[in-house]
A and B are shown apart, each in its own frame.
Chain A
Amino acid sequence: NAGVTQTPKFQVLKTGQSMTLQCAQDMNHEYMSWYRQDPGMGLRLIHYSVGAGITDQGEVPNGYNVSRSTTEDFPLRLLSAAPSQTSVYFCASSYSGQRYNEQFFGPGTRLTVL
Chain B
Amino acid sequence: AQSVTQLGSHVSVSEGALVLLRCNYSSSVPPYLFWYVQYPNQGLQLLLKYTSAATLVKGINGFEAEFKKSETSFHLTKPSAHMSDAAEYFCAVSGGSQGNLIFGKGTKLSVKP
Q: How many A-B contacts at CB < 8 Å in the complex?
A: 68
Of A4, A40, A43, most B-chain CB atoms within 10 Å: A43
In contact, A98 and B101 (Cβ under 8 angstroms): no
In contact, A100 and B43 (Cβ under 8 angstroms): no
How many residues on B have C-beta within 8 angstroms of the other chain's C-beta atoms? 26
Set A42, A45, A96: member contacting B106, Cβ < 8 A = A42
In the complex, how many angstroms separate the beta carbon of A104 from the nearest chain B beta carbon?
8
Set A40, A50, A103: member contacting B101, Cβ < 8 A = A103
Contacting residues of chain A (23-73) with chain B, CB-CB under 8 angstroms = 31, 33, 35, 40-45, 48, 50, 56, 58
Set B34, B45, B51, B99: member contacting A31, Cβ < 8 A = B99
Stretch from A14-22, A75-83, A105-113 that touches the partner = A105-113
Q: Which residue of A lies closest to B94 (CB)?
A: A99
Residues of A within 8 A of B61 (CB): none
Residues of A within 8 A of B101 (CB): 33, 35, 43, 45, 92, 103
Given contacts A102-B46, A105-B45, contact A43 B103 (CB under 8 A): yes
Residues of B within 8 A of A74 (CB): none
Q: Which residue of B lies closest to A3 (CB)?
A: B43
Residues of B within 8 A of A106 (CB): 43
In the complex, how many angstroms separate the beta carbon of B70 from the nearest chain A beta carbon?
22
Given contacts A90-B43, A106-B43, A107-B42, contact A99 B103 (CB under 8 A): no
In the complex, how many angstroms separate the beta carbon of B60 from the nearest chain A beta carbon?
12
Pairs A–B under 8 Å by Cβ, sample size 24: A4-B43, A31-B98, A33-B100, A33-B101, A35-B103, A42-B90, A42-B103, A42-B106, A43-B90, A44-B103, A45-B102, A48-B98, A92-B101, A94-B99, A97-B99, A99-B96, A99-B97, A100-B99, A102-B34, A103-B46, A105-B45, A108-B41, A108-B42, A108-B43
Interface residues of A (CB under 8 A from B): 4, 31, 33, 35, 40-45, 48, 50, 56, 58, 90, 92, 94, 96-108
